[in-house]
A and B are shown apart, each in its own frame.
Chain A
Amino acid sequence: MKLETYIAADNIISPLGFTSEENFEQLKNKKTGVQKIASSPYSLQPIYAALIDEKKIDTEFKKLNISNPFTRLEKLMILSISAALKQNQAIDIQSKKTLLIISTTKGNIDLLDPAHTAGFDKKRVYLWETARVIQEQFKSPNKPLIISNACISGVLGIIMAKRLLECETYENIVVCGVDILTEFVVSGFQSFKAVSADIAKPYDETRDGISLGEGCGTLIFTNRKERMQANVTPILVKGGAISNDANHISGPSRTGDGLLLAIEKTLREAQVPASAVDYISGHGTATLFNDEMEALAITDAKLASVPMNSLKSYFGHTLGAAGVIESIVGIHSMHTNTLIGTYHFNKLGVSKPINILKTTQQANVNTCLKTAAGFGGCNAAVLFQKQAVL
C-alpha cells in the first residue's frame, strides 16, 4: 500500500520575513517585498525586484553560531532548513531515513563573477558542491537530491518528495527551494525584455513582464502521521505530475495543453474531481504569454470558477524557490481559511474569465492546487488536501 505524505514543518525566508507566519501576515496586510532598486550591483538600470536585506541575513546567521564561511545562497538555506527543523523535533535530519532535496535553478551562480568569488573554491559553483556543504552542515548521512528544472524546480521537489515517501525507503524528506538575485539572472531576463517596468501585475490587462526576486522555502514531509505537529490539522500531498509542452524552449504553449495535462494527471492521482478544488495557487509571472497560457489550461481543466491568485507581485519570481514558497503560503491559507488577494491585480487581461482573487478573504480551503510552468516548456502541478475529519 502507498504511504501518505504529511506536511510536518515549513519556513519561508523572503524580504517579507524570516518565518512562514511573518510572511503570511505581511501578505494579509497587502505588503509587497518588491521594491524599486535605484542603483544596484544587479542591474545597470533601476529595477523592481524583491531583495532580502543583507544585514538581516547576517544578523540572523550570527545567531546560529556557525564559524565556517558560507555563500549568501547557502546562508539562506541553512537559516531556512534550521528554522523548519526547529519547529518539529520529531524530524531527525541525521537519520538515514531522512533525505534532503534541493531545488534551485542557478545555485551559487554569483561565484562565476570574479568580483564575487570572495575566497570560495572554484568548485563551489557546482550544485553538488553546494549540496555537499549543506549536507555536511546538517550532518545528514544521505547525499541530497538536486533538482534543477527551471521554474518548476520547487514544485518538482514536492512531487519527488511524495513519490519517494510512498514507499518505505525514507520516512522524512526536507525540500529546500532556493535562488538568489544575481546580475547573471537579471541581465538575462532584461535581454529577453521580460522584466516589468513596475511591480509585476499578474493576470492584469496592463501586465508587462516579471519582477525578479530571491528567497528560500523549506517544506518538511513525513509518511509517519505521529510526527505531525500537535494541534495542527493534517495536510497531505495527494497528487502531483509533470509534463512538457514540446512547443518552444523559451515560450509556453499557445494552447495550455502541457499544463492541462499536468493538472489532469494530478487530479486523477489525487482522486479529486475539479469541482472539489477550493483554491489555485497559480504561476502568474505576469508575462503576456504565461498568464494567457494558464488561463486556457485552467479553463480547459474546468477550474475557471475556482479562486486563484499569483504571489509573484509579493515575492517577485524566485525561480527555483517559487514553487516551495508559494506552496507554503497555500498551506497557510488552508490552515487559516484565508485566501490572499493578488497584489497589483486590477482588471482581468486574459482571454478566459478565470477567477483571480483581488482581495484577501475568508473561505473554506480544504483543497489547494499549486501549478507551475517554466523555460523548456515544463509544467507541473501538485495537490494539497486537509485530511477528512471523521
Chain B
Amino acid sequence: MSQEQTYITSFCSLQSGQVNINHSLAFSEEKIASPASSAEAIANEGSSAEALPKERASSAEALPKERASSAEALAKEDSDFLKSVYKHYQLNYPKFYKMDNLCKLAFITSELILKNNPLSEKYKAEDIAIVISNSASSMDIDQEHQRTISDKNNYFPSPSAFVYTLPNILIAEIAIKNSIKGENAFFIFDTFDSTFMSEYVNSLINTGKATCCIAGWVDFYEGNYHAFLYTVEKQPGILNRKHAPKELEKLFLHQS
C-alpha cells in the first residue's frame, strides 16, 4: 500500500470556556461581558485567526473559575457557553436549538473549522469522510431519557430526546449541514487515541476511500466537555502539520 503523506490542515477545539482555532484563542467566556471585543472577533473571523491579539490567551487563562459544584448546574453552564459561542459567531442554523448538548458541541466546532477551511468547495460530497470518537458516548442525553422512564407514574419518553441517544447522530448533524456523504464511523475510547485515529484516517485516504476527512473527539458528560475536530488533507494547508500520532497528541493536549 502506498503511504502518501497526509496533513492536519486546520483544527478547532472547545474546552473550559475557550474556543481555539488553529492555535489561536478565538473566543472565551470573558468575551460575553465584552461586546466591543466581540465585534472585533466577528470582524476577524474567517480571515487568519493569527491576527487575534496574543494577550487574550493569557488573560483568558487568568479567568477565575468559580463553577457550581453540582453536575447539573455545570451542564447548564456549559450549554450556556455553547449558546454564547453560537450567537457570537452568528451561526444561524435553527436546527441547533433542537440538538442535545453533544450535537451542539460537535456542530459548533465543525462550523468553526469549516468556515475557515470549506472542504465542500474543494472535494466531492462522497469523498469527504467523518471519523469521530469520544469516551461517554451519548450518556448526557441517555440520562435524560432514563429520567423520563424511571417513574412508572410519570412516564413520558420523548422521540426528540431518544433520537439523540446514539453518539453517531453528531456525525449526521455535521453531514446534513454540509451535505457530506462519504465514509463515516464513530468509535469509543477511554481517552483520545491519536495512534488509531491517524492510522485509520490515513488508510482511508491512502486507499482512495476518501480524499479528505473531518476527524477528532467530541465528548460531553457530567459538566465536562471537550471537542477537538481537525481536517486531514493531502496538501499541507495553512496549518502544515503532519497527520501523525505525536503531532496529533500535541494539538489535542493544547501544546503547540
Contact = CB atoms under 8 A, between A and B. Distances in A.
A94 interface: no
A353 to B, nearest CB: 27
A71 to B, nearest CB: 16
Chain A, interface SS category: mixed
Contacts of B38: none
Interface stretch (B29-37, B49-57, B60-68, B182-190): B182-190
Interface residues of B, number: 51
A300 interface: no
B171 to A, nearest CB: 6
Contacts of B157: 187-188, 190-191
Interface in B76-106: none
A37 interface: no
Contacts of B42: none
Contacts of A184: 142, 145-146, 149, 165
Interface stretch (A147-155, A330-338, A357-365): A147-155
B184 A378 contact: yes
B181 interface: yes
Contact of B173 (A2, A150, A242, A249): A249
A148 B150 contact: no
A191 B135 contact: no
A376 interface: yes
B174 to A, nearest CB: 9
Contact of B137 (A127, A246, A265): A127
Contacts of B143: 112
A205 B149 CA distance: 33
A192 B161 CA distance: 10
A173 interface: no
Contacts of A156: 185
A119 interface: no
A188 B146 CA distance: 10
B125 interface: yes
Contacts of B136: 126
Contacts of A160: 185
A267 B196 CA distance: 27
Interface in A144-189: 145-150, 156, 160, 163, 166-167, 183-184, 187-189
A249 B163 contact: yes
B145 A249 contact: no
Contact of B152 (A44, A166, A191, A265): A44
A105 B166 CA distance: 7
A2 B203 CA distance: 12
Contact of B172 (A2, A148, A249): A249
Contacts of A271: none
Contacts of B159: 188, 191-192, 250
Contacts of B163: 192, 249-250, 375
B175 interface: yes
B253 interface: no
B116 interface: no
A377 B175 contact: yes
B12 interface: no
B27 to A, nearest CB: 27
Nearest to A128: B190
A145 B196 contact: yes
A229 interface: no
A241 interface: yes
A146 B179 contact: no
A258 B184 CA distance: 12
Contacts of B190: 126, 128-129, 132
Q: Which of B164, B184, B186, B187 is most buried by chain A, counting CB atoms within 10 A of its CB?
A: B184
Given A126-B136, A188-B159, A244-B182, A249 B188 contact: no
Contacts of A2: 1
B126 interface: yes
Nearest to A105: B166
A146 to B, nearest CB: 4
B182 A243 contact: yes
A261 B180 CA distance: 12
B187 A244 contact: no
Nearest to B196: A145
A112 to B, nearest CB: 5
B167 interface: yes
Given A148-B186, A156-B185, A191-B159, A244 B142 contact: no
A10 interface: no
A146 B189 contact: yes
B169 A376 contact: yes
A273 interface: no
Interface in B203-256: 203, 207, 209
Contacts of A22: none
A109 interface: yes
A208 interface: no
7 contacts: A107-B137, A150-B166, A150-B168, A187-B148, A189-B162, A244-B180, A377-B172
Interface of B: 1, 125-126, 130, 135-137, 139, 142-143, 145-146, 148-150, 152, 155, 157-159, 162-169, 171-173, 175-176, 178-190, 196, 200, 203, 207, 209
Interface of A: 2, 44, 105-107, 109, 112-114, 125-129, 131-132, 145-150, 156, 160, 163, 166-167, 183-184, 187-192, 241-250, 257-258, 261, 265, 374-378
